Structure 1
Amino acid sequence: MEVMIFIIFFSLVFITTFALWKYVRLKHDVYEYTEKLDNTINYMLKNGELKTTPYENDDLWEKNYEKLVRLSHLYTHKNLEISEEKDKLKELVSDISHQTKTPIANIKLYLEIMTDESDFKKNQEYMRKMNGQIDKLDFLLQSMVKMSRLETGTIKIQKQNVLLADTLAMAISNVVIKADKKNIKIDVQYDEQLMLKHDKKWTAEAIFNILDNAVKYTEVGGNIHVVVCRQELFTKISIEDTGKGIAPERQATIFTRFYREPEVHDKEGIGIGLYLAREIITLQNGYIEVQSQIGQGSKFIIYLPNRD
């Protein structure tokens, strides 16, 4: 009987000791886990990026740490995107400020002059110049809206299988008057029955921007030649002019926002047309090439895919 009591007592002591050890060990593990989690989260909050480490123990911490690493990478990536967006916004605000500063200053100047000017004819001239500056501002703002809506995805490219001839007609009709004023001949070679899946409105906008540049920088009596050719993978739209040409070292920068060549600042424009044209074509999985030499005109080639 005494032996049984001893065995029972010893078993109870052993069980109690084991339970106490297990409790202490579990408490230590919880504290250790909590400390690791706290340090890791603090590290992430300081913009630190967690690194993937090889498994040492197949335990709860290792499994959760792997999830925290993925979360850290996502967090870092999102922060980088936000930073890039902020930089773009700063650049955009700076560009807008720079582009609007001159016409606004000119309008204010003409208004001040008109206040003290009693000559009706001179005031009429100042009014005409003011209207020109207002038109420039209006064009700038409309271009900025188009650019913003395209970049932010507010307007989606909507492709439909339509006649490319209708798109060309829409683009060319908007430059005919300017071309006529400079006695510039525009001739077009295309297949009237050619169907292509593309966004008619925005593609016409892209073609118009290139044609508008061609008319602007081609001298009186010049020529603009448009050729449409369907290839195996792409439909090619070539727009060639007899204008001043573009130096090879500048051809990589002409598609950047607000870029204008130094020697053409006397011409109207704000340097958004080619940028918009490239964005529109790129959004349709196409691309634009430029071939040009100073004094030998320019050739812009739009490539639009025949299939999605």
Structure 2
Amino acid sequence: MLRNREFRQFSILYFLIAAIAVIVGFIMNKEAGILAIVYSIAVGAAFFIFTKNRYKKISEISHQIDLVLHNAEQFFIGESDEGELSILHSEITKMTSRIREQNQGLKKEKEHLADSLADIAHQLRTPLTSVNLILSLLNNNPDETQRKAFLREAEDLLVRMDWLITSLLKISRLDAGIVIFQREQIEINPLICGALRPFLITMELHNIDLQIDVQKGMWIQGDEGWLSEAIQNIIKNCLESTGDNGRIEITCTDNPLFTQIVIHDSGEGFETEDLPCLFDRFYRGKNTNATGNGIGLALCKMIITRQGGTIAAKNHPQGGAAFILRFPK
């Protein structure tokens, strides 16, 4: 306590006042002087004990704060009686608890970042290895037909890598919170037709039957560019699942609460254990033959939910997968 400047100043002032009171008491008479001495000692002792207890509690709080700053697992501050110290105690408890939560959150984010980097490296390493192998085969293969086939395969791998990197950059922007979504009225029919445009040739080549049941004049609110991106990711997933001679149906319904878009394919659907994890980042499912990389659906969910909508996936009663998008009114 003596290291505290305010305590030293108060002690000196108290001893001066006590000395003056004792001197004045003895000037008056002997009994008054003795009474002044006893009173000064009693008040000084009470003040000393009270201050020592306060400093002890402050020291305990300081020790607990130090434990938090050094990432100790245990954290406890005992209860204090009502008063200024109790208020300080309560506020420090809130602060240290908040710091602990932030530290735990940062730790989880670091672990997630490390896992994500490992997944990204794995996703990029596979096509890079394939491209290097193709280049080696091109160098040693004089047959023109096979060289063209190798070049087409290398081009497909590079397109896949470009899509993967672009999607990862979009997810990073969404994670960082730097994307500002526009709030505008969007007519659903042109939105879906625009999202389908890049896949029309692929659908024709694979003989996929496309059925669209969306009435004109149905609207939703959101950012048209980003919502088109989300729908394209769903359609891409449906095309990969459907294969040749398949079918994709897109329907839209409306009610006073929300507008619903359902995208249904005629593929094999989902495994039951995959359903809870479909929109998790880098999740590819239990099927070892899965061709996806676990990015598209995760990006799709981020885009839709951050604009107030919801997305879910299930197995359709008629077979295949169904994606349900809902946008509140």
In structure 2, give the amino acid aligned to 1:68.
Answer: I
Matched residue type, 1:297: G
The equivalent position to 2:231 in structure 1, one of 163, 183, 207, is: 207
Deviation at 1:262, TM superposition (A): 5.3
Question: Is residue 239 from structure 1 mapped to residue 263 from structure 2 by the alignment?
Answer: yes
The separation in 1 between residues aligned to 2:197 and 2:53, in whole angstroms, is 77
The amino acid that maps onto 1:103 is P
| Larger displacement relative to structure 2 (288-297 or 91-100) | 288-297
| C-alpha distance in 2 between matches for 1:18 and 1:73 | 40
Alignment of 1:102 with 2:102, yes or no, is no
Matched residues in 2 for 1:258 and 1:133: separation? 18
Deviations 1:113-161 (A, max 9, x none): 4444455554444333322222221111011112222233221333212
Which amino acid counterpart does residue 87 of structure 2 have in structure 1? Answer: K
For 1:299, the equivalent position in structure 2 comes to: 322
User: How far did 1:259 drift?
Assistant: 2.9
Matched position secondary structure for 1:252: helix
Q: Which SS does the other structure have where 1:217 is aligned?
A: helix
For 1:145-195, what per-residue CA distance to the aligned partner results, in whole angstroms no more than 9, with x for missing partners?
122222332213332122222321221212212111112222212221122
- 2:166 matched to 1:139? no
**Does the C-alpha gap of structure 1 residues 103 and 266 become closer, same or farther in structure 2, counting only changes over 3 Å?**
same
Q: Report what 2:62 is aligned to.
A: 38
1:282 aligns with 2:271: no
Query: Match for residue 289 of structure 2?
Result: 265
C-alpha distance in structure 1 between counterparts of 2:187 and 2:265, whole Å: 24
Letter in 1 for 2:133: L
- d(CA) in 2 for partners of 1:262 and 1:22? 73
Q: 1:228 aligns with which of 252, 275, 293?
A: 252
Displacement of 1:82 in angstroms is 0.5
Greater relative CO (CA pairs within 8 A, separation 6+): 1
Change (3 A) 1:119 1:52: same
**Residues 92-171 of structure 1: matches in 2 within 5 Å?**
92-118=116-142, 121-171=145-195
Asked if 1 retains the 8 angstrom alpha-carbon contact of 2:65 and 2:96, the reply is no
Cα distance per residue 1:50-109 (max 9 Å; x no partner): 446544x33443332212211121011101110111121012112102111211111222
Alpha-carbon offset, residue 283 of structure 1 = 1.7
Larger deviation: 72-81 or 279-288? 279-288
Look up the equivalent residue of 1:250 and give its one-letter code.
D
Q: Would you say the 8 A contact 1:189–1:227 is kept in 2?
A: yes
SS of the aligned residue for 1:221 comes to coil
Q: Deviations over 1:210-261 (max 9, x none)?
A: 1222222224333222111111211011112222322334322322223334
Residue 67 of structure 1: which of 65, 77, 91 is its match? Answer: 91
The 8 Å contact of residues 316 and 322 in structure 2, kept in 1 or not, is answered as no
Report the residue type matching 1:222 in the other structure.
G
Distance in structure 2 (CA, Å) of the matches to 1:225 and 1:116: 46
Equivalent residue pairs, number = 303
CA RMSD of aligned residues (A): 2.9
Q: Distance in 1 between matches of 2:279 and 2:228?
A: 17
Secondary structure, aligned partner of 2:277 = coil
Q: Give the Å deviation of 1:281.
A: 1.9
Match of 1:79 in 2: 103
* TM superposition score normalised by structure 1: 0.85
Q: Distance in 2 between matches of 1:4 and 1:239?
A: 102
Larger Rg: 2
Distance 2:287 2:57 in 1: 67
| 3-state SS of paired residue (1:224) | strand
Q: Which amino acid aligns with 1:193?
A: G
Note the residue ranges of structure 2 that are not aligned, 5 or more in a row. 1-25
Q: 1:29 to 1:287 in 2, by over 3 A?
A: same
| Structure 2 CA distance for aligned equivalents of residues 141 and 135 of structure 1 | 10
Contact 1:289 1:302 in 2 (8 A): yes
Distance (Å, rounded) in 1 between the aligned partners of 2:130 and 2:207 = 31
Whether 1:195 aligns to 2:214 is: no
Gaps of 5+ in 1: none
**Shift in Å, 1:14:** 4.2
Structure 2 distance, partners of 1:105, 1:256, is: 26
Question: What amino acid is aligned across from residue 167 of structure 1 in structure 2?
Answer: L
